[in-house]
Structure 1
Amino acid sequence: MLVHSCRSRENSLFHEELDELADQFPGLRTHRRFTGEQGRLDLSTSADIEALCPDWRRRAAYACGPAAFLDDAEALFDREADGGLRMERFSVDLAGGVAGAGGLVTFEGSDLEVEADGDVPLLEVAEEAGVDAPSGCRMGICHACLTPLRSGQVTDLRTGEVHGEPGDLVQTCVSAAAGPVGLSL
């Protein structure tokens, strides 16, 4: 049983591919929920999932999606299915910037300079400044935000480590300015 939830049919990723898989594997059941029409899948109780898959407690289960959805799914499975849920979270716990860090970020390809705090990911700094920065981080496409460091160093917000040499690729979603920084965006 595969449950795929998104805002609308037009926003549905891999729509044709899921149809092909269901055709190839008669034992595969798919359910698509379009939240703009049907509302979100409610995992605060087992009612919605029970209606889709009555034997869900006995199955291996996998989930990925927004943090709030995963939190609800985890709580439901812990409460009613002794765990048994494997998840992939597309977010990271940030340790926070180093005291006194931050600085002027130069987006060399955009000819733009912005002051940034030491606890704000460079991806957010770029987006707030209107810089077209590559990313797939929020969709689970890790490392899509890798950007060449032209100058300066960055703080890894997961560990607090300050690092970087010109030419290094930095993950802008988990890196903050550790002093003046130049990026090739």
Structure 2
Amino acid sequence: MKENPNDKIIVVNQKVEEKKVEPEIETLKSIKKVQPLLSTIEGINWNNIFTGKRNSHIIPETLNPQSFINFFEQYQQYIIECSKTVIKDQNTLSDNFKQLLTYCNDIESNVSHRLSQTKQLSDQLIGNELIPKIEDNIEKTQMFISDIISTIDKLDEVVPDNLKIKNNPDKYPKICELKETHNLL
């Protein structure tokens, strides 16, 4: 009698087959299903739906409004989420513009202060001793203004057209005046 070789095999850990769960299938199962407004009824076609003859057993006289209500509730929630996102983005842009306006006002006051200092120094000018100090102040002020204008131009590139400084000189008169004055130098 021959021995079966499979009888001598000792199984240490038997493989347990696991049921694989695919995430896409689970996601599809979690989506709400919408029931049709009209149930499928034998004998309905476009000709007898809109004719004057209505049989109560062919077309129901009323529709279940719950499907409409569910749809519009989901749509309402979607619109609310979209509006919250837009409001958040608009608030961020508004805050950035407020900071920019404050920064520009500080620059303007700084430039005005330096100009008044320069005027006082020019009035008190005795000889050539103060000329290098004035030239240094002018150079620093021009570099400072150039940095500010380049920062404004970079910001102007990323904001929408209706918020750009160059498109709204009435809304940002101080910034536009600063840019024009600097471009004349």
Q: TM-score, normalised by structure 1?
A: 0.18
Structure with greater Cα Rg: 2
Higher RCO, 1 vs 2 (CA within 8 Å, ≥6 residues apart): 1
Which structure's residues are more often strand, by fraction? 1
More helix by share: 2
Task: State TM-score, norm by structure 2.
Answer: 0.18
